[in-house]
Amino acid sequence: MHFLYLKNNYSLFSFLLIPLLCLWNPIWLSVMGVQPYWPIFWLLPWAILNGPTNGLIIGFIIGVILDSINNDIYTQVPGLLVCGFWFGKLDKLENRYQYGLVASLGSFICGFIYFFQVMLNNYHKNPDWLFSFALKNIFGQILLTGLFAPVLSIALYGLFRNKFKRNPF
């Protein structure tokens, strides 16, 4: 009974893991201290199966939760909204490499939007200082997200597929 409940709610339980992973930040999975962008791994298969509208909503929800964890003046919501909508527009991806590529692009979108906010807030200081740090963060995240997505996102897609049917809207 409990197992069936778990099986029917894979998406919910795996969703709850996102903030925990963001808090945990295993250092052995980092490159130059940069971690993969964890929400993308979950959002990509979920939005593919549930469509752009649901992707947009769940992107917003994840963004709000992550903002509350980081308690920063910048927000991750816009990047995740764009990614949720875009991933929802995609049909089933053909192979592992496409998962890696799409996840990398999603990570780039989120990283760039976040960096744009940092720049806007720091334009009166010396923004040149921020470029090297931003490049390191964005490309570190792209690399790691693209590397792990073919494994993690495909595994999650397999789990979610049994529960959801494609919603074209």
Partner 1 sequence: MNKLRRITSYRWWNNKNLWFLFIFLLLIISIRFSKSLIYRDIYYFLSKPFWPGQFQREILLKSHDKELNIKLKQLEKDNLRLRSLLSLKRTTDDFKIDSSVISRNTGSWWRKIILNKGAKNGVKIGDAVVGPGGLIGLIDDVSMLTSSVKLLTSTESQVGAWVQRINIHGLLQGVGSDSPKLIFYARDIDIKVGDLILSSPASTLLPPNIPIGIIESIDQDLRSTTIANVQLLAKPQAIDWVQILKTKI
Residues in contact with partner 1 by CB under 8 A are: 23-25, 27, 30, 32-35, 70-74, 111, 114, 118, 121-122, 125-126, 129-130, 132-134, 137, 140-141
Residue at 152: amino acid letter: L
Angle between helical axes of 38-70 and 10-24 (0-180°, round to 10): 60
Tell the burial category of 159 from Cβ atoms under 10 Å away from its Cβ (0-12, 13-18, 19+): middle
Q: Tell me which residue of 154, 149, 137 sits closest to 103, measured CA to CA.
A: 149
Strand partners, 31: 34
Residues 6 or more apart whose CB falls under 8 angstroms from that of 150 comprise 96, 97, 99, 100
Residues 6 or more apart whose CB falls under 8 angstroms from that of 33 comprise 27, 140
Give me the sign of the Cα torsion angle 16, 107, 64, 162: negative
- Cα end-to-end span (Å), the chain: 33
